[in-house]
Amino acid sequence: MGKEEEITMERRRYPRIESLCLVSYTSKAEKVQKTAVSMARTINISTGGAGIEVYQPISCNSIMEMEISVMEDIFSVQGKVVHSRKLSNGNFMIGVSFDQLQEKLSSSVRDYP
């Protein structure tokens, strides 16, 4: 584990679970919708947030309204983008902090085979 990973793990309040889940989302900045409904996928998820791979840049502090699909369940969540970086494949990895803790969502992800 590298030093950067150790620091990131120390700052996280909720452990992340690696999981690929389908996400539909819109992003808003200053209460104005910035993107049409778009699709993405989670890379990891926790009770307090998620790492999501998106196909277009989304600015930090943007508000995300999302529906996350875990098996047959769909969870509607809202959160704020806390970091964003470009990936080598041209996509973007964003970190989203959920507005409210998502116990049922993270429990469903943990139970996912």
Q: What is the pTM of this model?
A: 0.79
Domains in the chain with CATH codes: 16-111 (2.40.10.220)
Nearest to 105, CA basis, from 13, 5, 14: 14
pLDDT at 6: 42
- CA 103, 13, 59, 20 dihedral sign is negative
Which residues of the chain are under the pLDDT cut of 50?
Answer: 1-9
Q: Which helix (H) or strand (E) holds 10?
A: helix 3-11
Name every residue whose Cβ is closer than 8 Å to that of residue 8 and which is 6 or more positions away in sequence.
none
